[in-house]
Amino acid sequence: MTGRRLVRGSLALGALASLAGSLFTVSPANAAPVPAVADDAAELTWGVCPGGLGVEFGLECTTVTVPLDYSNPDGATIDIAVSRLASTNPAERRGVLLTNPGGPGGSGLSMPVDLVSLGMPTSVLDRYDVIGFDPRGIGYSAPVSCGFTVEQGYQTNIPPYASNDAEVAAQAAVAEGVAQQCLEHDTEATLRYMTTANTARDMDLIRSALGEEKISYFGVSYGTVLGSAYASLFPNRTDRVVLDSNVGGTALDVTAFRRFGLGAEQRFPDFAKYAAARHETYELGRTPQAVRRGFFELVDRLDREPIQGVDGDLFRLTMFSALYADQSFPQLAQFWQALKRADAAAVRTMVEKKRLPRVPWLGAALAEPHPFDNTLSAQLAVICNDSAWPRDVADYQRNAKIDRARFPLFGGAAANIVPCAFWPEPLEPPVRISDKGPANILLVQNLRDPATPYVGGVLLRKKFGKRARLVSVDQGGHGVYLFDDNPCGLNVTTRYLVDGRLPAKDVLCPASAESGLRLSKEAAERREATLERLRSF
């Protein structure tokens, strides 16, 4: 039931059982049991992280035992792997900063040292013990499996581009098979309990096990879904909350999923401008308009005549991947140029040597110790369990047609049918965002984010009301704080984490006049490797 365990450290099962009568209260907003305060900090034993993860940084690991099903706290339990990068300045320490890198499906055990690699300020590291964890079902926290293999060909939960109704119908057969495969592999009956709400409840037991009355939180991408759920379920147990690159709710539902198309349209002009300014080098078009026209011409040709296995669908997804960060623009331009020239040898080399932007949500999933199967399985489970998806194939056919017209770059892919259409009904509705609670939520959002478009930040700002402030950053890409080099976005967020100064009103950060980060080769390589892995969630 617990899957892979850490070498040391656990919240004692006996202590958990003895609290069964008082550990849970009912949340009126969700009518489901949620954790209350427990005094178990003394039970935690910290030790070496699996595989020596982060040992050079002083990272420690433990496990916290939680109920599999919060409506049955006396039933089966699972262990949640937790990491800690402790503050080395007791005089400045304020508390703990829980973190989540996104996904869903992303392992968060290394997140504290990842943030150090990205340049998290010493002032923040002094203030907090930075806490990472593998959410339930992921990595070292009772990992789930659908039995996916690379050979199976199901390598991402973003469906292929759907150019007509027949292609949506064909994808429906694939999606139904994947859903059935996942349910058949769920021999320990854990898959259904992988929800954002349950992970938020796990977070509160982690808080309790750490002996903290409140937690601060930093979450990116899907991490904003998780943070929004926690801040709504447990508003008075939050200290300082930073939500970066916001989805806009507490579930990656069908509406949020379809925003990938919007994000591609809003972000692509940044690349088109880049390529047009470098036409003499990459030959993609002298104007942004010409670059855009060239994209559709190339996609159409690749659909008819793929080059080394690269068809229009794969090129669309590669383009979308590159939009996550400006640093990927040269790779995309190089790949595009080779395809445009029909240079089969160059295309083969780029594909075989993996000299391409990574597909979103795949990336590091192919690397141990968090295999491809676990990452995709966990992601699928959370997305499908969090909200009800349409059941009728005709709904997806209609939506794909609408999105092909509205968002031609990404087309009907984000509206195409997914396994959630064939998944069991959710055990509970999504957490309702609450505007009741302390004003302690800082939302940071790029204006041109391909994965979590700007509207997500606007939606959360409205839902949280007076509890939140929105920091809008005039730049493109996925991820703001530490992910890019906008001084305003960096400074406002750091100031809030260190001093608790929530801006009096919403902030608009202008585009940075800086030409980018200038680091040593070693530091730059470490940063890029960290960014690549985190952005692949």
Which residues in the chain come in under a pLDDT of 50?
1-29, 31-42, 361-370, 515-520
Q: Give, for 14, the enclosing helix (H) or strand (E).
A: helix 13-18
**Cα(142)–Cα(132) distance, integer angstroms:** 16
Q: Position 20: which residue type?
A: A
Distance of alpha carbon 487 from the chain centroid: 23
Bond prior to 369 in cis (omega within 30° of 0): yes
Name residues whose C-beta falls within 8 Å of residue 515's C-beta, 6 or more positions apart in sequence. Answer: none
CA-CA distance, 169 to 173, in Å (whole number)? Answer: 7
**In the prediction, which pLDDT does 351 show?**
87
CB within 8 Å of 477: residues ≥ 6 apart: 267, 323, 324, 325, 326, 446, 448, 449, 450, 483, 484
Question: In angstroms, what CA-CA distances link 64 with 83, 120, 133?
Answer: 11, 26, 10
Is there a contact between 209 and 44 (Cβ–Cβ < 8 Å)? yes
Task: Give the 3-state secondary structure of residue 76.
Answer: coil
pLDDT of residue 358: 66
Active-site residues: which are they?
221, 449, 478
- Is there a contact between 407 and 432 (Cβ–Cβ < 8 Å)? no
| Residue 161 near residue 101, CB atoms below 8 Å | no
Tell me the helices (H) and strands (E) count for the chain, helix number first. Answer: 17, 11
Residue found by looking up tokens 């490797």 in the block = 529
Region of 211 please: left (phi>0), alpha (psi -120 to 50) or beta. left
Q: How far apart are CA 413 and CA 431, in angstroms?
A: 27
How far apart CA 531 and CA 492 sit, in angstroms, is 21
Q: Which residue has the tokens 């199901």?
A: 154
User: Which pLDDT score is estimated for 154?
Assistant: 79
What confidence tens digit (pLDDT) does each residue in 239-297 have?
A: 999 999 999 999 999 999 999 999 999 999 999 999 999 999 999 999 999 999 999 99
The answer to whether 77 and 20 are in contact (CB under 8 A) is no
> What are the boundaries of each domain within the chain?
1-143+194-248+433-537, 145-189+254-386+389-424
CATH architecture of 1-143+194-248+433-537: 3-Layer(aba) Sandwich (3.40)
pLDDT of residue 534: 59
From residue 307, give the alpha-carbon distance in Å to each of 261, 310, 332, 352, 492.
25, 5, 16, 13, 47
Cα 237 to Cα 215: distance, rounded to the nearest angstrom: 6
pLDDT recorded at residue 356: 80
What pLDDT is recorded for position 161? 86
